[in-house]
Structure 1
């Protein structure tokens, strides 16, 4: 195990915990946009778009929750290669990972998890902007 692996796992676990809050805020903005858009026909399209963006946001929240638990386990001391091999075996058995992605180093896994964090943040900003647009068009 590399000396930095546990710290990488801890950092990613923290980022994923923050992503859960970011995703929840995005869903709240989507609901706000829907509520504001119920007023008139002009403000309905941003509200509808915000609700459509809630679907990938929900998917990201699920992925973030799963990855948060997995990286938490790795941060607790299972980031050695046999631990990663067992994780890969479990993910393959569940059908959650293609065989070609097995045996990746922890840093590559961390980058993938952080892409989920960024995607959730982008969706949240979009939902906030749509909520503001719904308010303006109201």
Structure 2
């Protein structure tokens, strides 16, 4: 599979291209990821040494870093979608899996920070599943 990936935000204002290989894929349940995603976890891909190119909308990007931590998010200032964060000081690009428009050849390797998961994040696989919005 190609190591060239493309992605975008929900409104389409921000588009990017990433050249590099995803080495890690984690589903993070920490309170910070839950707050930025509004759900049980963030699905983040890690691409050490990858090259990130913004194809459009770079002027629409906002960046947030939680002081005194490695926690950071880059997002579209129009629609709020999380997009890749180029963590140059750490030598990697962190990519929210949901913003990719291309397939990846890696599956999630672990659920992490389970000690801070939401109290409602148990037995989610037992909840009814529907192909579309139920009536």
TM range (shorter): under 0.3
**Which has the larger strand fraction?**
2
* TM-score, normalising length: structure 2: 0.25
Q: Which has the higher contact order (CA 8 A, sep 6+)?
A: 1
**Which has the larger helix fraction?**
1
